[in-house]
Structure 1
Amino acid sequence: MNTIIKACVATALVSWTLAAGAAEPIKIGVTGPFTGGSAPMGVSMRDGVKLAVADINAKGGVLGRQLQLVERDDEAKNERGVQVAQELINKEKVVGTVGFINTGVALASQRFYQEAKIPVMNNVATGSIVTKQFVGPENKDNYVFRNAANDTIQSAMIVDEAVVRQKHTKVAILADSTNYGQLGREDLERTLAARGIKPVAVEKYNLKDVDMTAQLLKAKQGGAEVVLTYGIGPELAQIANGMEKLNWKVPIIGSWTLSMGNFIDNAGKNGDGARMPQTFIQDATTAKRKAFIEAYQKAYKIDRMPSAVSAAQGYDSVYLLAAAIKQAGSTDGVKVREALENLNGTVEGVVTTYTKPYSHDDHEAIKPNMVVIGEVKNGRVVLAK
């Protein structure tokens, strides 16, 4: 009898251990700048991610397991991003990571996910090269995905707005000195060259610069009819304010970051009229968007999202990753990557409803027809008319 009892107890213990193992949470990394000039993007992305995880967990999680976020502030620094990536992979054992706000941080850090065969979802970084860093023939498989409008898409839209819609032929480019700014500037110059246009001025500035007078004077003296920008909020505001000081009123058209709260607030009325590509505008145009906006406002007690694009793309990135884990029936990185590249059905997000967003050779979920032009008006971003 004792032998039978012992066997039953042993069987029960094994069953309990397996059940406990099955109930362990699925760890997902979240990396972005939660402090500093890029913080509106990082915090908004993280908060959008949290809303998605709360929704999914409330419905039972994925594969019967809850999602658990492991957050790390990469401070928009390449070296810190590298440290965070290694920590999330080796110490926290994440099955995937969402984030990367800054192109330079992404390019420095995502190689660790590639080597570990763990998918990473770039939900804000837009440098055109980001998803091409590990393509064939050197790499059989690529573990870097994105659901943000890359700079190839954005540069085409910026130039189309400036040259085709607004009929400007004399353009100036002001871009910051980061990887993001300089890669974006290269995309703009290539796109302009394809239309036979050479900028009258191409000027660079550094993060935290507060006086753009020299760069703006070169653009003005060159006869620029429009200023094209690639940078982030604080310095973009210095451009708008510097133009006001020079009493120089020409349009500002730039990358999506002109929608950042710290551009809108710091530029004030000088930012009105600035135009930029947007995947998401804080406007309840669908039931899904309405619910998302209201949930964000309620959870974080805020009216205007610091970076609505970042929040929406962060939210959607979790749903895409969760759908892949569910389809794979596993958290194994190889299987999750394969599922991402061949997702069945649709994934309803707030940016769009995704149908087959990725393939083995295309890791860009956002296509040109999903992006609109926004405009700053009275302290908010609205759809440009």
Structure 2
Amino acid sequence: MFRHVLVALLLFCVVAPLQAVEPLRLGLNYPSTGNYKSEGLELRRGALLAIDQINSQGGVLGRPLQLISLNSAARAEKATANVERFAAQNVHMIFGGANSEEALAAGQRARELGLLYFPTLAYANEITGHDGHRHLFRESNSAWMSAKVLGQYLSWHMPNRRYHYISLDDAWGASMEQALREATKSRDRARHGYSKIAAHGARRSDYLTALKKAAASEADMLVIVLLGQDLVQTMRLANDMGLGKRMQIIAPNLTQSIVEQAGPLVMEHVIGTEAWNWQVPKLEKSVEGQAFVDEFIRQHQAYPGSTAATAYGIVRQWAAAVQRAGSADSEAVIAALENHHYRLLKDEQYWRDFDHQNVQTIYAVRVKNRSEIMQDRFKQDYFTIIHRMAGEEAAPGLDDWQQERGDDLTLQ
């Protein structure tokens, strides 16, 4: 009895001071409604797992982390307004978002307020390219990086094909299509046709019109540069039309939640890229990565996707940088992040100093057969990794970045 009381007192002595001090607040700008709400749930789960682990180990600089979440609905204006609200609640950094427009707008406002911004699910090259700045760090890969690994795989295994593109009419859609055209030598728009889908307010008829145009072409490769419900609805229509039987469908940025929403049968054999999935820790022999997978499964009875992993990694990396810097001040954390190499959920990654892009291995994946997926215990083992490219090879080099930036060759 005395032993139990002593243990309880010791735990109280450790936990009570942590609860008594002012927390370090993190702002999660995430879509809890709208086209990307499934991705938003993944972001929140990944972030909370990281925060719980850090707090159980004593917090950061003796202070607990506290998550403040606001719905961005995947809209730039709402995400920007949320940055103002986060600042009023004295957050120390902001992360999240479901598209590149959010990242560009909210990141710029965070910069004006002296706050760090870590976008998620934001792949446009401009984010760490032309529009990059000191207060923005991107953990996820860029369109360029996805295009490089896809382009290499396709040129090796499916050379001399005819492409047709259906792309979102926004910054990510434009940069992804351009990068993939370059990587696959499908630059000739007369031969390799295209359609654009409105960034907001697209209807079923818009997706159908674009797919009918693709079906009428002579293309044997259909690239669907869409995300969220735009991709889900387009894939369902493409399946109804039987396009997957006569064309190889490519969705450059795949996520676990997309396959879940569209359905494994609809997504069978689709090729895309991911920076991480739950099989990667075993592939890369990452002990911490496997621990993350195991704990996520324990809590949610489901595999973590790349979206959850991104949020988890951002929180862990920011917290580690604060610990190294001895301060949560933005400038101190920037200095602690730049050129920092680390291993967390897979092999080595690092934050580049000149553009604040996270350099990491990127994987090309193919969605498995539905019958194979249904044999899995959670019916979530969606992807086969078909190609792997090291981050240094996938990411644009300094010369490419300087050419895009023009005269503005330092982050401000």
Q: Distance in 2 between matches of 1:23 and 1:77?
A: 35
Shift of the 351–116 alpha-carbon distance from structure 1 to 2, 3 Å rule, reads farther
CA distance in 1, matches of 2:147, 2:222: 13
1:122 maps to a residue whose letter is P
2:265 is equivalent to residue 269 of structure 1: yes
Amino acid of the residue matched to residue 29 of structure 1? G
Runs of 4+ in structure 1 displaced over 6 angstroms? 19-22
1:294 aligns with 2:294: yes
The C-alpha deviation readout for 1:328-376, integer Å capped at 9, x for no partner, is 1011111111111143xx543214443xx22431311133xx0111121
User: Retained in 2: the 8 A contact 1:144–1:363?
Assistant: yes
Paired residue type of 2:156 = V
Task: Find the counterpart in structure 2 of residue 209 from structure 1.
Answer: 203
How far apart, CA to CA, are the structure 1 residues paired with 2:256 and 2:75? Answer: 19
Q: CA deviation at 1:304?
A: 4.0
Q: Unaligned regions of 5+ residues in structure 2, if any? A: 1-16, 374-380, 387-412
Counterpart of 2:147 in structure 1 is 155
> Which of 247, 268, 275 is the equivalent residue of 2:242?
247
* Deviation string, structure 1 residues 33-78 (Cα, Å, up to 9, x no partner): 1222212222212211111111111111111111111111101011
- 1:215 and 1:295 mapped to 2: Cα distance? 42
CA shift for structure 1 position 21: 11
Counterpart AA for 1:358: W
1:67-116: CA deviations, max 9, x gaps?
11111110101110110011112x11111112122111111111122122
Residue number in structure 1 paired with 2:120:
123
Task: Name 1:47's counterpart in structure 2.
Answer: 45
For residues 283-333 of structure 1, what are the alpha-carbon distances to aligned partners after superposition, in whole Å with 9 as ceiling and x for unaligned?
25143233212211222x34244xx11111111111110111111101111
Q: TM-score under structure 2 normalisation?
A: 0.78
Larger Rg over CA atoms: 1
Correspondence for 1:280 among 276, 299, 306 = 276
What are the superposed Cα offsets for residues 255-277 of structure 1, whole Å, 9 maximum, x if unpaired? Answer: 223x3424444244121001111
**1:230 equivalent in structure 2:** 225
Matched, 1:374 2:388: no
How many residues align? The count is 350
The answer to whether the 8 A contact 2:235-2:262 is kept is no
TM-superposed CA distance for 1:197, in Å, is 5.1
Amino acid at match of 1:42: G
Secondary structure at the aligned position of 2:94 is classed as strand
Q: Is the deviation greater in 240-249 or in 65-74?
A: 240-249
Match of 2:384 in 1: 383
Q: What's the % identity of the aligned pairs?
A: 20
Deviation at 1:384, TM superposition (A): 3.3
C-alpha separation in 2, matches of 1:51 and 1:145 = 21
Could you say what secondary structure the match of 2:358 adopts? coil
Contact 2:26 2:66 (C-alpha < 8 Å) held by counterparts: yes
Amino acid aligned to 1:81: A
Listed as ranges, the gaps of 5+ residues in structure 1 are 1-18, 136-140
- Counterpart of 2:337, as a letter, is L
Q: TM-score by structure 1 length?
A: 0.83
